[in-house]
């Protein structure tokens, strides 16, 4: 009886693995672990350095805003969200031509992708390697595989045209072939980093739109004023 149970469990695991390989859904970029297990303590407040130079910034878009384009998926509660921007756009002062971008933690550059405008740079934190911090539209000064230290310069935001911006986001990978989970970097900042933003008027309350509020007011991308979804630094 026992061997049959073991064989059944093995066949089930193989089936799940095969499904993940065939569909490719939720597959993390190269360098990210598959599965939720890891050694050592997990620290959710792993953003220990400010990824931005706030003296260069005029405003940040809210998490779940209607700015830009749809960028959505599952949240940390496992609920699927759609038709919203689950990342933060970064707008610069007019006199700033290149915005510095810094490593928010000790970790590794696991992927550098080239979409239509600038590179997307993916970073894996040593403290919690199932997470990925992403800078979108960057001119990188690092390369894939580089180990980085918190506060290290990663490159410069690629700004095109008047009022241009670049953006940052945070994703988590759970389970074999599991979903990409979206979250705001602000939830994972140390008190020291969060205080830097609070001194400029950016708080968890005004930089994050709740799921309930966004569900009541769905996005219509391409219409409306992007300024409505940005919080200005003081």
CATH code at 195? 2.70.70.10
Per-residue pLDDT tens digits for 172-223: 987 666 668 999 999 999 999 999 999 999 999 999 999 999 999 999 886 6
Query: Is the C-alpha dihedral spanning 218, 221, 225, 230 positive or negative?
Result: positive
Residues paired with 61 in a beta bridge = 230
Contact indicator for 138, 52 with CB cutoff of 8 Å: no
Per-residue pLDDT tens digits for 154-176: 999 977 655 567 899 999 987 66
Other CB atoms within 10 Å distance of the CB of residue 148? 20
Owning domain of residue 46: 2-232
pLDDT for the residue 177: 61
Number of domains in the chain: 1
């Amino acid at each position: 009886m026992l061997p049959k149970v073991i064989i059944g469990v093995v066949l089930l695991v193989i089936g799940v693995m095969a499904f993940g390989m065939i569909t490719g859904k939720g597959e993390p970029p190269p360098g990210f672990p598959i599965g939720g297990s890891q050694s050592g303590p997990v620290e959710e407040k792993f953003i220990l350095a400010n990824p931005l130079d706030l003296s260069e910034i005029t405003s940040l878009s809210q998490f779940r805003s209607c700015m830009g384009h749809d960028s959505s998926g599952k949240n940390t509660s496992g609920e699927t969200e759609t038709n919203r921007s689950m990342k933060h756009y970064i707008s610069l002062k007019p006199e700033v031509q290149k915005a510095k971008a810094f490593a928010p933690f000790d970790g590794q550059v696991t992927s550098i992708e080239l979409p239509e405008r600038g590179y997307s740079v993916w970073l894996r934190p040593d403290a919690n390697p199932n997470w990925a911090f992403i800078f979108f539209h960057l001119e990188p000064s690092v390369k894939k595989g580089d180990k980085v230290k918190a506060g290290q310069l990663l490159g410069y935001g690629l700004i095109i045209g008047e009022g241009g911006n670049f953006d940052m986001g945070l994703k988590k990978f759970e389970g074999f072939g599991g979903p990409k989970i979206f979250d705001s970097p602000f939830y994972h900042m140390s008190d020291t980093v969060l205080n830097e933003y609070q001194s400029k008027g950016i708080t968890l309350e005004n930089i994050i739109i709740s799921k309930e509020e966004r569900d009541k007011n769905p996005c219509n991308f391409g219409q409306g004023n992007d300024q409505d979804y940005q919080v200005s630094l003081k």
